Amino acid sequence: MRILVAPDKFKGTVSAQTVAESIRAALSADHEVFIQPLADGGEGTIEAFGGSNRTDVVSGPLNSPVSAQWRLHGDTAIIEMAEASGLTLAGGLEDNDPIAASTIGTGQLIAIAIERGARNIIVGAGGSATTDGGLGALEALYPLERLREVSITVACDVATRFVEAAETFGPQKGASPSQVRFLKRRLERVGQIYLEERGVNVLQMEMAGAAGGLAGGLASVGASLVNGFNAVSEEVELLDLIENVDLVITGEGNVDKSSFEGKVVGGVLKLADETKTHAIVIAGNFEESLSYSAPIYGLTNEVGTESAFSQTQKSLEYVAKLAVSNWEKAR
């Protein structure tokens, strides 16, 4: 059989590339296996587009220098904001300063990309430490006139609106209740500034709250906001890849209701349904109360929690063989 392995990362455990390679290793002796790691605009976006080939030092979320990877292919740049302004760079929610955290490094990466000849820029907006409404990024991009020469697309992993970003994601970035209230007021004011200065109302714009409002800030200077999975899948021509195989295997670390709200698993299954291609889902664990349009296997169900986390790659190989074997028997 021809099999496409197109997973998201197993967050906090293994990357999408590692997931795909592990499953391919398990199946390649008996099948023709192709891999395409995916992402929804968050961590792993560069990897999904084919890997990074540039590294530049920029200001991290708390202003210390960080080495950020990005990709330039022709005149198209792929930038993952988590590489410059990500929560992990701030030490996680325990060490992050949610008030001071800035997107300036992301803006610096965009500026560098423009200087290197990029005219189409895709920004993956996920995994951020920030709730600055994109102020830091825009500061780094002055003079803003330079943006007239480029097209910016923000690949968003959430549909959250601008001000909602404070209450929805602030606590995940270490914000206390009082800090969340401060961040909410700040986003309200920043949104008003964008409206007054540029005539763009980001306050009512879906997805403008992605990456703590970075998406809205970039939208205020002409960027397009799109669903992250759609942006990635179109760029890698995922529909064509799925059409040309007998079976597609997708998955992520935790499959639940949110996996079908613009995320990778739901997106792959939808494309598989459109093309009448059989599909299998392999997850770290999954919500058993939901109904699924494809067979789903959880590592924790099949090998136990300890092995799923301590021997993830071996567990993936075992479960992939089991899943495909069961599917072949059921055909």
The answer to whether residues 154 and 228 touch, using CB atoms and an 8 Å cutoff, is no
Average pLDDT over residues 93-122: 97
Shared-domain flag, residues 53 and 139: yes
Within 13 Å and on the Cβ side, how many CA atoms surround 145? 1
Q: Which pLDDT band holds residue 93 (cuts at 50, 70, 90)?
A: very high
Contacts of 319 (CB under 8 A, 6+ apart): 282, 297, 299, 302, 303
Mean pLDDT along residues 172-184: 97
Q: What is the pLDDT of residue 169?
A: 96
Q: Give the Cα separation of 221 and 116 in Å (integer).
A: 20
pLDDT at res. 4: 98
Residue 265's pLDDT is 96
Q: How far apart are CA 184 and CA 176, in angstroms?
A: 12
**One domain for residues 11 and 121:** no
Residue 220: which CATH number?
3.90.1510.10
**Averaged pLDDT, 102-127:** 96
Domain at 322, CATH number: 3.40.50.10350
How many domains in the chain?
Answer: 2
| Amino acid type, 209 | G
Which residues face 296 on adjacent strands?
281
Q: Give the model's pLDDT for residue 109.
A: 98
pLDDT for res 11: 86
Residue 49 is predicted with a pLDDT of 85
Give the integer Cα–Cα distance in Å for 156 and 103. Answer: 15
Q: Which has the closest alpha carbon to 23: 275, 326, 321?
A: 321
Single residue among 230, 262, 297 that ends a domain in this structure: 230
Query: Is pLDDT above 80 for 51?
Result: no
Confidence tier at 185 by pLDDT (50, 70, 90): very high
**Which residues are 32's β-sheet partners?**
2
Average pLDDT, the chain: 95
Give the pTM: 0.89
Provide the pLDDT for residue 242.
Answer: 98
Dist. CA 9–CA 145, nearest whole Å: 37
What average pLDDT score do residues 118-146 get? 96
Residues 197, 83 within the same domain: yes
User: What local confidence, expressed as pLDDT, does residue 157 receive?
Assistant: 86
Q: What is the pLDDT of residue 245?
A: 98
- Asked if residue 272 and residue 253 are part of one domain, the reply reads yes
Q: What band does 33 get if pLDDT is binned at 50, 70 and 90?
A: very high
* Torsion sign across C-alpha atoms 285, 291, 293, 294: positive
- On whether both 185 and 73 belong to a single domain, the answer is yes
pLDDT at 52 over 80: no
Q: Three-state SS for 42?
A: coil
43 band by pLDDT with thresholds 50, 70 and 90? confident
Are 208 and 324 in the same domain? no
Please tell me the predicted confidence (pLDDT) of residue 53: 84
28 and 64: one domain?
no
Report how far residue 110's alpha carbon sits from residue 122's, in angstroms, rounded to the nearest whole number: 9
Q: Which of 45-59, 61-75, 228-242, 313-327 has the lowest average pLDDT?
A: 45-59
Residue 312 CA, distance from chain mean position: 21
Pairing label, strands 76-80, 65-73: antiparallel
Does the pLDDT value for residue 56 go beyond 80?
Answer: yes
DSSP state letters, 226-294: EEHHHHHHHHTTHHHHHHTSSEEEE--SEESGGGGSSSHHHHHHHHHHHTT-EEEEEESEE-TTS--SS
**Structural domain ending residue among the three candidates 184, 205, 230:** 230
pLDDT digits (tens, 9 = 90+) for 193-236: 999 999 999 999 999 999 999 999 999 999 999 999 999 999 89
What was the pLDDT predicted at 318? 97
Q: Is the pLDDT of residue 47 over 90?
A: no
Q: Give yes or no: residues 86 and 19 share one domain.
A: no
Residues 295 and 219 in one domain: no
Residue at which a domain ends, from 230, 246, 270: 230
Crossing angle, helix 312-330 and helix 16-27, to 10 degrees?
Answer: 50
The answer, yes or no, to whether residue 12 has pLDDT greater than 90, is no
Helix axes 228-235, 264-274, angle to 10 degrees: 50
Q: How far apart are CA 331 and CA 304, in angstroms?
A: 28
pLDDT of residue 235: 87
The answer to whether 312 touches 263, Cβ cutoff 8 Å, is no
Residues 199 and 249 in one domain: no
Host domain of residue 115: 45-230
Percent of the chain with pLDDT over 70: 100
Q: Does 226 lie in the same domain as 114?
A: yes
200 plus 313 within the same structural domain: no
Which segment of 129-138, 253-262, 280-289 scores lowest on mean pLDDT? 253-262
